[in-house]
Each structure stands twice: as C-alpha cells, then as structure tokens.
Structure 1
Amino acid sequence: MAKIEPTVTTPAPAETPAVTPPPAFSPTPAAPPPAPAVAVAPAAPAAAPATSQATPASDPRKLDQLSRIEEKSARIEEKFARYEAVLTRAEASLERSAHKVDAAAGTMDFASIRGEITALRNRVDATPRAGTLFMTAIVTSVLTVILTILVLKFGVPGLFGGLLSR
C-alpha cells in the first residue's frame, strides 16, 4: 500500500465533526475502503482568553501526531485487507467443495441403484418362508416312513428279501 503523506490544512469550523466514523463492515469485497480523512481541529474553548495565541498550522508536534495516526490507520487497513483475503480464499474453497458435492450427486445413477434394490427384493421374496419349510419337512418325514416300511416288508430286489415276514 502506498503511504499517504500528511497534509496540513486550515482548521475546520467547530460545527463539523473532526473525524468521520469508519464504514460498516461488509462481508463481500465490493471495493477497498476509502482512506480515512483525518482533520485536526483544535478544541475551541467557550471563553478563550484574548491573550492566548493560536498554534501555527506547521507545528511539528501536530505533524508528528498526524503521521502517527496515519501510520496506525494504514496498519489497520493492511490488517483488514489480510482478513478480507483470508475470507475470500475460504469462500472460494467452500464454493469449490459445494460444486464437487453437486457434481458427485449429479453423476450418481439412481436408476441402476433402484434396479439393484428391486432385484434383491425379488430374490428375498423368492426364498421359502416358514410355512413352506414346515410343509416340506412334514412331506419328507411321511415319505421316509412309508419308504422305510415298504423296504422292510418287501426288501430290495437283488440285495435281500423282506425282513418282515408273515
């Protein structure tokens, strides 16, 4: 930042304020803040004695004080600019992340996921339930008993004869 050299002007009238209030902080960087206008106005007492002399405008103490004020305001402006740069970078990073999430959500194929879920549901629905399993167990046990009785009564042809004889 370029340093602004102090200028000495005639004192402002007593009705105008000596220092303008700082601008309100805005989170969006519209434009750099204007350089603060600092006017040094001597305090005008209500009843000034006639013998007192007004200090000349080129008083070195006033110039030194004015230069210190300008240096402090320049440092404050630099800090503000640094914070503004940090916030701008953070905003840009957040915006990039939001775009990546948006792009990832846009590329997901919801139709294929829906199709896979439907196929899995059909496979689950095709598995036998408890009623089917109990019916299969009962039929298997009844057939096993009937076949065992038939083998014991008539035997297996070619291996052995019937074990139950009458």
Structure 2
Amino acid sequence: MSKIEPTVTAPAKPAEPAAVEPVTTQSPPPVFSQASPVPVSVPVSASEVAPVTEPRKLDQLSRIEEKAARIEEKFARYEAILTRAEASLERSAQKVETATGAMDFAGIRQEVTALRYRVDSTPRAGTLFVTAIVTALLTVLLTVLVLKFGVPGLVPSLLP
C-alpha cells in the first residue's frame, strides 16, 4: 500500500491575492503567474520573499500527518493480528479435517447399533420383580412338596 504524502505548499487560489512583503530596494515589482505564488522573473534573496504558508497551517498539516501515520500503524497491527488469527483458524480446520478423516463413522454406527440392541434386550425393573416373585413362590412350593412327600430314595417325608 503506497502512502500518499500531502504537499507542503498549497497553490494560490485565483480569488485570493498572494501576500508579499514590501521590497525596500529599487528593484522592479515582482511578477506572479497564475500557477505559481512565487515571483517568476525577478531574482530576489530568501530574506525578501514572504513565507507562502503560515506556521499554523504547517503545524496542522504535521498533526494530520502524525495522525495518519498512527492510523497506518494501527491498521498494520490489526492486519498482522488478523493474519495470525486466519493462520490459526486454518491450522485448526486442518486438524479437524484430519481427525474426521481418520474416524470410521460406519464402524462406529454399527457398534452403537449393537450396543443399543444389547441394552434393549436386557430386562427392565418390572421383569426383574416378576421373576423374583415367581422364583420365590416356586421355591416355597417345592420346599413344601419335598417336606410333605420327600424325595424317593433320598429323603423320607418329614411332614404328616
């Protein structure tokens, strides 16, 4: 990005007359052209020519240049930050891409389906309670039958 430098001397406007200090020597009066505020054909020394711009305008111009330089520095810092953030985001995206490429989604889907089938096939609480009650009743019934009739050849009947 190229920096545009403002000019220090401003061209004279046709509506404003150029300010020139009075000449104390016997030289002819200065001749001005429309494009230049400096006398064209009269050789004069540096002490006899009036300054073209005021010091206040030069101070204002220098302040504007300093502000523009600070803005350019801030822009450069933000550009560097954004460049680093973009590179970091690109690295993260690449890591995610390699991680997803390494995963076998079809295999994982099959394993999850098999696990879900096994979980669904396990008995729930109601089934477990019914099984416990039936087991307890059958145990009591068989115990009473063994005590009353006995086991032929092993245990004689114990109850009358």
TM-score by length of 1: 0.56
Question: Which residue of the other structure, out of 64, 75, 89, is the alignment partner of 1:98?
Answer: 89
AA at the equivalent of 1:75:
E
Percent same amino acid among aligned pairs? 39
Match of 1:10 in 2: none
Contact 1:36 1:73 in 2 (8 A): no
Note the C-alpha offset of 1:79: 0.6
Match of 1:117 in 2: 112
Gaps (5+ residues) in structure 2? 22-37, 39-48
Aligned-residue CA RMSD in angstroms?
3.5
Task: Provide the rounded CA distance (Å) in 1 between the counterparts of 2:117 and 2:123.
Answer: 12
Match of 1:74 in 2: 65
Say how many residue pairs are matched: 129
Note the C-alpha offset of 1:140: 0.9
Change (3 A) 1:115 1:97: farther
Match of 1:35 in 2: 5
Please, which moves more after superposition, 126-135 or 151-160? 151-160
- 5 Å matches for 1:1-166? 31-37=1-7, 39=10, 41=12, 44=15, 54-55=19-20, 57=38, 58-60=49-51, 62=53, 64-65=55-56, 67-106=58-97, 107-108=99-100, 109=103, 111=105, 113-155=108-150, 161-165=156-160
Task: Provide the rounded CA distance (Å) in 1 between the counterparts of 2:127 and 2:73.
Answer: 75
AA at the equivalent of 1:132:
T
Contact 1:154 1:162 in 2 (8 A): yes
**Which entry has the higher C-alpha Rg, 1 or 2?**
2
